[in-house]
């Protein structure tokens, strides 16, 4: 059997390659996690905006049915839309269940 013989320079070069590969791998994992968090945050925002719009439409429809028999229709509709948007935003935020995700300190694992 032949003994494996490596010079100190070869050992240091091998160790350097391993360290570079580990750092590249960790950086890629961090980037992937940051991209996933950004996507999750934007999905939450779009979901909230959609729920606000649907609630606003429902409020406007209910108000429109109640007040249809009075005055100019289009002007009344325009006057009712703005308060309905504010009310639907407030109700949606109040009724939405959100999760609390505490920020991690550097070096902590999940």
Convert the pLDDT of each residue in 25-61 to its tens digit.
888 888 888 777 777 776 676 777 888 888 888 877 8
**pLDDT higher for 91 or 63?**
91
pLDDT at residue 37 in the model: 76
Query: What is the token pair recorded at 79?
Result: 């006057």
Query: Could you give the CA distance from residue 87 to residue 52 in angstroms, rounded to a whole number?
Result: 9
Q: Put residue 81 in one of left, alpha, beta given phi > 0 → left and psi -120 to 50 → alpha.
A: alpha
Q: In this structure, what token pair is assigned to residue 20?
A: 């570079």
Token output for 5: 């013989």
Q: pTM, whole model, 2 decimals? A: 0.38
pLDDT at 1: 53
- Closest to 79 measured CA to CA, from 90, 98, 63: 63
């Amino acid at each position: 059997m032949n003994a494996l013989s490596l010079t100190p320079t070869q050992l240091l070069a091998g160790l350097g390659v391993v360290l570079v590969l580990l750092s590249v791998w960790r950086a890629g994992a961090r980037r992937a996690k940051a991209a996933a968090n950004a996507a999750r945050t934007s999905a939450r925002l779009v979901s909230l905006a959609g729920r606000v719009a649907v609630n606003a439409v429902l409020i406007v429809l209910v108000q429109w049915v109640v007040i249809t028999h009075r005055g100019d229709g289009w002007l009344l509709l325009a006057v009712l839309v703005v308060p309905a948007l504010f009310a639907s935003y407030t109700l949606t935020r109040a009724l939405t269940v959100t999760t609390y995700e505490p920020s991690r300190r550097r070096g902590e694992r999940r």
